[in-house]
A and B are shown apart, each in its own frame.
Chain A
Amino acid sequence: MLFLSQLINGLQLGSIYALVALGYNMVYGIVKLLNFAHGDIIMVGAYIALFSLNFGHHPVLAALLTVGGCTLLAIVIEKTAYSPLRLAPRLSLLITAIGISILLQNLAQLLFEARGRSFPAYRLLPAGYIELVGTRVAYTSILTITISVVSMIVLTFLVRKTKLGKAMRAVSEDTGAAQLMGVNVNVVITFTFAVGAALAGVGALMYGVRFPLITPVIGAMLGLRAFVAAVFGGIGSIPGAMIGGFLIGLLEVLVIHMGLSGWVDGVVFALLIIVLLVRPTGIMGRNLMEKV
C-alpha cells in the first residue's frame, strides 16, 4: 500500500507545516508583519530540544523547555526589535524581521557549528510502528499528526472562547478601535507572538523527529514553505493554515515521489504565485478592502 504510506508521510510533513503556518498566520493577522524570524525560532527550538535530550532530560521536560525557550525568545524579539517600530513604515518592520532572521542563523552557526548535529529522536518518542491494512505506520507519524490537530483545536478554542482571544480578534480587525475599547494592544501583540512561538516549539520537536539532522539554516526553508501554506490556506484563518499545511505537505511528498526532488521549492513557489494571482485571499481567507 504505497499510497497509504505516502499519504501518512505527507500528512506528517503537512502537520509540521501547519503548525508553523499558524504562527505566521496569527502574527500576520495582528501586526501585518511577515515574521521572517519565525522559521529561525524553530531552528533555535530544535537545538534546545537536541541539547536537552542529549543532556538526559526526560522527554516531557525537554518538550517543555523547547516550547518555553521558543516562547521566551519570541517575546524578547518582539519587545526589543518589533515594538519600537510599531508606528514605523511596514518596510522598516519587514527589514528588521529579515535582520533578526540573519542574526539568529549566524549566531547559531557560530555557537553550534554549521555542519549540523543529529537529533536524538528515539529519546523523544518511541520508535515502534503499527500495522494498518498492510502498511507499517510509525508511532511518530501518528503522534505528530495527533499533536498537531490537538494543538489546532486548543488554539481555535483560545481564539474563539477566551477573553484574550476575543481581544486578539478585535486587534486584528481594527487596532485603533480595539485600543479605544480598553484592549491593551501591546499585551495582546506580545501574547500573539508568544502563542505563535509556542506552536513553533511544538513544530521544532516534530521537525527533529521527522528530519533528524539539525543545521543552523533549517528554519529558513521550512519557514518559507510554511508561509506558502499560510497564504494558500488564507491568511488570518486557523483552519485555513491547517488545510494549507496539509496540502503543501502532500504536494511535496507527491513531487518527491515523482522523482523530481530537485523541483520541490520551484513547485511550491509556483503554487504560491498561482494562488496569489487567482485567489489572493487563499482558500479560507476573507476579502479585505483597501482604505484610503
Chain B
Amino acid sequence: MSDKKFVIPMPVRYVINTVLLVVFLVAANAVMQSGALGRAQTAIIIQIGFFIILAVSLNIVTGYLGQLPLGHAGFMAVGAYAGAIFWRAGMLPGAANMIMGFFVAGIVAAIFGLLIGIPALRFKGDYLAIITLGFGEIIRVLLNNLDWLTNGARGLLGIPRYSNFLVVYICVIITCAFIHVMMKSRHGRAILSIRDNEIAAESCGVNTVYYKVAAFVVSAFFAGIAGALFAGNFGILIPGDFDFMMSINILMIVVLGGLGSMFGSIVAAAVLTYLPFALQSSESVAFLADYRMIIYSLLLILMMIFKPSGLMGSYDFSMSRILEKIINFVIEKKGGKKDVAS
C-alpha cells in the first residue's frame, strides 16, 4: 500500500460543489415546476429552507463560539419587520426591491446584533443566555407596542410574497457557503479557539471581544435574512410569532443536529420541520403529532446525557472527501501501480 493518497486539489473541489448545487437546483426546480408536489409540500419545503438558515446562523454562536444565546427569534423578528416594511414601501422596481429588502433585513438585524452583542458578550453561560433572552423579549414587546411602525398585535399585512422556492434555495446556499468559508478561514479558527479556551486564545493574541461580537453580528445578519424569507412566505407578521418558543425551536434544531456541524443543522432542520407534517398526514400515527414537543424535549435531555455532541457531532458532509475515498479505494485495489499526482 502506497503512503501517497490521492487528494483532490482545492479548485476542483469548488467545481464539484458548484456542479452539485446547480444539478440539485435544476432537479429540484423541475420537480417543483412539474406540480408533482402539492401546495402543502411546497410550503413545508420553503419552511425547511428558512429553518436551515436560522439553525446554521445560530450554530455560529452556539456551536462554533460555544455560547448559548436564547434570543435568536428576536433577530429574526427584526429582519422580518425591516424587510417587510421595506418591501411594502416598494421604492424600487421588481426584483431590485426584493433583493434590497433582503439586504435591509440582514443589515438591520446585524445592527441590532451589534447593539446587543457588545453588552451581552461581556457575560458567559447562563448570564448570556438570560440577557439575550431579555433582549429577545424586549424586541417582541417593542414590536407589539410600536403601532405606527409595526401595526402592533393586529399584525403587519399585505407583504409581497417573494419567498418562492428559487429565492429560498439561493438564500440557503449563500448562507451556508458564506458561513462555511468563514469558518475555514483564520477568522473561523479564531472563533473556534475562543470556544475551546478563551483565556488561552486571548493570550495567543486573538482579539476575543472582536471575534465574539463579529460572530454574533454575522449570526444576527443571517437570522434577519431568514426573517425576511419568513415574512415573504406568509405575507403577514405578528409579534407573537417570534416569542421565546421560536428561539427554543431553533436551538433544538442546532443541538439535536450537533453543535458545530452545519450538515447536522441542515439535516435536523429538515427532519424536525418535516416530521410533524408527515405524522399528521397519515392517520395511524397522527396522535404522535400531539406528543411532538414532548418527544423533542425528551430527545434533548437524553441527547445531553448520552451524546452531548448531537446527532452528527462535528461531522460535516463533503462530497470531495467521499470521492477521494472512492478513488483511493480503487487505486488500492489496483495495487497502487499508477503514479498519482497529489
List residues of A whose CB falls within 8 A of some B CB: 28, 32-34, 81, 84-85, 88-96, 98-100, 102-103, 105-107, 110, 220, 224, 227-228, 231, 262-263, 265-266, 269-270, 272-273, 276-277, 280, 292
Contacts and interface: CB of A to CB of B under 8 A. Distances in A.
A273 B308 contact: no
B17 interface: no
Top 9 A-B residue pairs of the complex, sorted by shortest distance between their CB atoms: A269-B134, A266-B141, A99-B300, A34-B126, A103-B297, A102-B297, A106-B293, A99-B301, A96-B304
B131 interface: yes
B288 to A, nearest CB: 12
Contact of A100 (B125, B129, B133, B297): B297
Interface of B: 66, 68, 119, 122-123, 125-127, 129-131, 133-135, 137-138, 140-142, 144-145, 199, 244, 248, 251, 255, 259, 290-291, 293-294, 296-298, 300-301, 304-305, 308
Contacts of A102: 248, 293, 296-297, 300
Nearest to B203: A292
Contacts of B255: 95
Contacts of B123: 276, 280
Contacts of A276: 119, 123, 127, 131
Nearest to A100: B301
B125 A90 contact: yes
Contacts of A265: 137-138, 140-141
A33 B127 CA distance: 10
A269 B137 contact: yes
B279 to A, nearest CB: 15
A286 to B, nearest CB: 16
Contacts of A280: 123, 127
Contacts of A263: 141, 145
A94 B135 CA distance: 19
Nearest to A109: B293
B248 A91 contact: no
Nearest to B302: A99
Contact of A266 (B126, B138, B297): B138
A273 B135 contact: yes
Given A105-B293, A269-B138, 20 more contacts: A34-B129, A90-B126, A94-B68, A94-B126, A96-B300, A96-B301, A96-B304, A96-B305, A98-B300, A99-B297, A100-B297, A102-B248, A102-B296, A103-B294, A107-B294, A110-B290, A262-B141, A263-B141, A272-B130, A292-B199
B167 to A, nearest CB: 32
23 contacts: A28-B126, A33-B126, A81-B301, A84-B305, A85-B304, A91-B66, A91-B68, A91-B259, A94-B125, A96-B301, A96-B304, A99-B300, A100-B301, A106-B297, A228-B130, A231-B127, A263-B141, A266-B141, A269-B138, A272-B130, A276-B123, A276-B131, A280-B127
